[in-house]
Amino acid sequence: MKIHEYQAKALFREYGIPVPRGEVARTGSEAAAIAKDLGGRAVVKAQIHAGGRGKGGGVKVVQTPDAAREAASGMIGKPLITVQTGPSGKIVSQVLVEGPLAIEKEYYLGFVVDRSKERVAIMASREGGVEIEKVAQEDPEKILKVFATPGLGLMPFQARQLAFGLGLSPRAAAEAGSLIQKLYRLFVEKDCSLVEINPLVVTPEQTVVALDAKIVFDDNGLFRHPELTGLRDVTEEDPSETQASGFGLSYIKLDGNVGCMVNGAGLAMATMDIIKLAGGEPANFLDVGGGAREEAVTEAFRIILSDANVKAVLVNIFGGIVRCDVVAQGIINAVRNLSVRVPVVVRLEGTNAPLGLSLVEESGMSFIPAKGLGEAARKVVEAARVGGSLV
């Protein structure tokens, strides 16, 4: 789960990590009032779940409360397009208004679970404020890394290694070392999967401040953090994806015209791949999950067909524990109840597949049965190209 910068900074404050003074505003007048409190000069930052805001025009330095009002009004309620949002951008519904900060130098600090080392990795770099992935690719030696020992955690000497490795003055290094340890505590206590400060700044007075803040929580850890549920912003999520997750479905909308409904994430990805290989473009990723109950199947069809681009649907089910005849009945009922108008190719394999296929064939509806993945993909791509309807 992602959260906004202002929410991440509130968590930072709880853990004693220095952040600029500031508050969140939902209107231009609120922004003006906050800027006035801050002494007039301020930075107005659009709050969306995506990076690249500065280059997209989502960060503005203002000199007066009126300018803050204007900047905030120019952002709130409007889409902000950055390299990470996609072409339609994301609607800004709030801005963070912060006091200005004198900056001597910018650094990068990031915490992530390293999958191959199976440990929490803490990374720091003198190349702050820029695309850190680019640095990682082009100059990996410019990124300092330490790994926390499970059980022991991050030792003070490791935090010092990073702080002095960045070439900080003794005063700034002491502050950075303490900040790194506090951040590690936050990372572990809140079950994070990513915490990033980019940039972490050192001021001319040699204090260290988190100018930006990014936190992603491990979804698997959320069950033990009821205090975090209020931080979720569903307006940042695709509404159909949110609706799907309510039914235990995992749905991601894509740009093609071949809808797919599959059980299992790996098989769902493989189904998208084979549609592409057959010359088509998948309209979505959809995993109906292990259960594939009738209710979920109906909902899956509803969501797939809510995308007007969909010209044909491929149902690809590998029955393991799930019986194909049960799934087939679910498909028939869903198609009937929703009066589906596009062609539907059905491929059933595994437990009770022949029984399921005969149900589909005897339903009186013109489903297109398919054997094997390859045949299913060819048939659905052809159906999407030719068009036509099921009834």
β-bridge partners, 210: 200
Q: What are the φ/ψ torsions at residue 214 (nearest 5 degrees)?
A: -135, 130
Q: Which is nearer to another protein, 106 or 191 (CB)?
A: 191
Q: Which is nearer to another protein, 95 or 268 (CB)?
A: 268
Determine the straight-line distance between the first and last CA of the chain, rounded to whole angstroms: 42
Q: Taking the complex as a whole, how short is the minimal distance between the CB of residue 256 and another protein, in angstroms?
A: 9
Q: Taking the complex as a whole, how short is the minimal distance between the CB of residue 236 and another protein, in angstroms?
A: 13
Question: Is 260 within 8 Å of 316 (Cβ atoms)?
Answer: yes
Q: Taking the complex as a whole, how short is the minimal distance between the CB of residue 372 and another protein, in angstroms?
A: 6
Q: Which is nearer to another protein, 69 or 311 (CB)?
A: 311
Structure tokens at 167: 């070439």
Applying CB under 8 A, which residues contact another protein? 84, 113, 115-116, 118-120, 133, 136-137, 149-151, 188, 191, 193, 218-221, 223-224, 250, 252, 254, 262-277, 282, 285, 287, 290, 318-321, 349-351, 372-374, 377
For residue 218, give the 3-state DSSP assignment: coil
Q: Which is nearer to another protein, 25 or 292 (CB)?
A: 292
**Cα-based angle 6, 9, 12 (whole degrees, multiple of 5):** 160
Alpha-carbon span 197 to 137, nearest angstrom: 19
Q: Taking the complex as a whole, how short is the minimal distance between the CB of residue 34 and another protein, in angstroms?
A: 32
Tell me which residues are annotated as active site: 108, 196
Q: Taking the complex as a whole, how short is the minimal distance between the CB of residue 363 and another protein, in angstroms?
A: 24
Q: Which is nearer to another protein, 31 or 144 (CB)?
A: 144
Structure tokens at 13: 């404050």
Question: Is 97 within 8 Å of 22 (Cβ atoms)?
Answer: yes
β-bridge partners, 302: none
- For tokens 């400060």, name the residue: 197
Question: Is 6 within 8 Å of 94 (Cβ atoms)?
Answer: yes
CA gyration radius, the chain: 26
Q: How big is the chain, counted in residues?
A: 391
For residue 232, give the 3-state DSSP assignment: coil
Count Cα neighbours of 332 within 13 Å in the Cβ-side half-sphere: 18
Q: Taking the complex as a whole, how short is the minimal distance between the CB of residue 136 and another protein, in angstroms?
A: 7
- For tokens 């799934």, name the residue: 327
Q: Which is nearer to another protein, 34 or 327 (CB)?
A: 327
